[in-house]
């Protein structure tokens, strides 16, 4: 699936030369870091503290692992554009919109998770003896990665909202056509279409008849 290039992602600066072993060490620790990030997100973002919702937790775990993987991939190969992982976050954003939720929880989770991941991975970088310039560059790359996946999610969310808005308008037009049809209309048909158009069916209705304007010809009158 093609994912639109997110707006607002800064151009990636020339990547510094990280030691080859850095990506290997971070990748080996990825599962442990993902555990800590997931725990921190569930602790700080109420929407993700849902132990009974297996699908939601599975999406959380997948999102955490994908973002961490993208970060390490950028270290190992700065030429990797991460399009596959961006597609994952694009779909996560679409899913939030289709479920009728705001994007706030996902964005909060990314901020909290990014901070937690950087604490763990930054500590590992220091333990490897990286100088301060490389540690600073690594931190910049970490937060750029968070921004990258956040923008992919926002693009998916916006696309789903646009499609949903267009579809809602089409359903409401079909409902209006149904209500204005000549002859009897089944109540069930009205209720079903009204539900899909997000229009509550009133218990009673009032009919208003308007007189034709004086300048209208007789044959123009309904």
In the block, which residue shows the tokens 């500590």? 123
Q: Tell if the pTM clears 0.95, that is, is over it.
A: no
The number of folded domains in the chain is 1
Closest CA to 70 of 9, 128, 129: 9
Q: What percent of the chain has pLDDT over 90?
A: 39
Give a yes or no: residue 98 inside a domain: yes
Does a structural domain hold residue 174? no
pLDDT of 67-86, one tens digit each?
999 999 999 988 888 888 88
**Does residue 7 lie within any of the structural domains?**
no
Q: What is the pLDDT of residue 93?
A: 92
According to the model, what pLDDT value does residue 2 have? 45
Q: What pLDDT is attached to residue 1? A: 44
Residue 108: which domain range?
A: 20-167
- Residue 1 domain-assigned? no
Query: For position 49, which CATH number holds?
Result: 1.10.490
In a domain, 154, yes or no: yes
Could you read off the pLDDT of 162-211 as tens digits, one per residue?
787 777 788 888 888 888 888 888 888 888 888 877 788 888 878 787 77
Q: Is the pLDDT of residue 131 over 60?
A: yes
> How far apart are the C-alpha atoms of 162 and 167, rounded to whole Å?
9
Q: What is the pLDDT at residue 14?
A: 58
Euclidean distance between CA atoms 94 and 68, whole angstroms = 21
Q: Give the separation between CA 132 and CA 195, rounded to whole angstroms.
A: 59
Domain assignment of residue 177, yes or no: no
Please report whether residue 85 resides in a domain: yes
C-beta of residue 99 within 8 angstroms of C-beta of residue 161: no
- Residue 30 resides in a domain: yes
């Amino acid at each position: 699936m093609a994912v639109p290039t997110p707006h607002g992602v800064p151009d990636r600066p020339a990547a510094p030369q990280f030691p080859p072993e850095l990506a290997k060490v971070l990748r080996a620790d990825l599962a442990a870091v993902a555990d800590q990030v997931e725990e921190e997100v569930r602790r700080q973002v109420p929407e993700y503290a849902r132990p009974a919702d297996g699908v939601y937790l599975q999406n959380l775990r997948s999102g955490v692992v994908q973002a961490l993987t993208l970060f390490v991939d950028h270290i190992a190969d700065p030429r990797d554009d991460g399009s596959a992982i961006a597609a994952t976050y694009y779909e996560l954003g679409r899913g939030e919109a289709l479920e009728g939720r705001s994007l706030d929880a996902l964005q909060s989770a990314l901020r909290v998770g990014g901070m937690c991941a950087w604490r763990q991975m930054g500590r590992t970088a220091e333990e490897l003896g990286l100088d301060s310039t490389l540690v600073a560059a690594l931190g910049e790359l970490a937060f750029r990665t968070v921004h990258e996946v956040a923008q992919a999610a926002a693009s998916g969310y916006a696309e789903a909202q646009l499609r949903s808005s267009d579809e809602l308008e089409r359903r409401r037009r079909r409902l209006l056509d149904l209500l204005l049809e000549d002859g009897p209309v089944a109540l069930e048909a009205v209720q079903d279409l009204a539900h899909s158009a997000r229009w509550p069916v009133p218990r009673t209705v009032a009919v208003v008849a308007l007189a034709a304007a004086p300048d209208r010809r007789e044959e123009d009158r309904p």
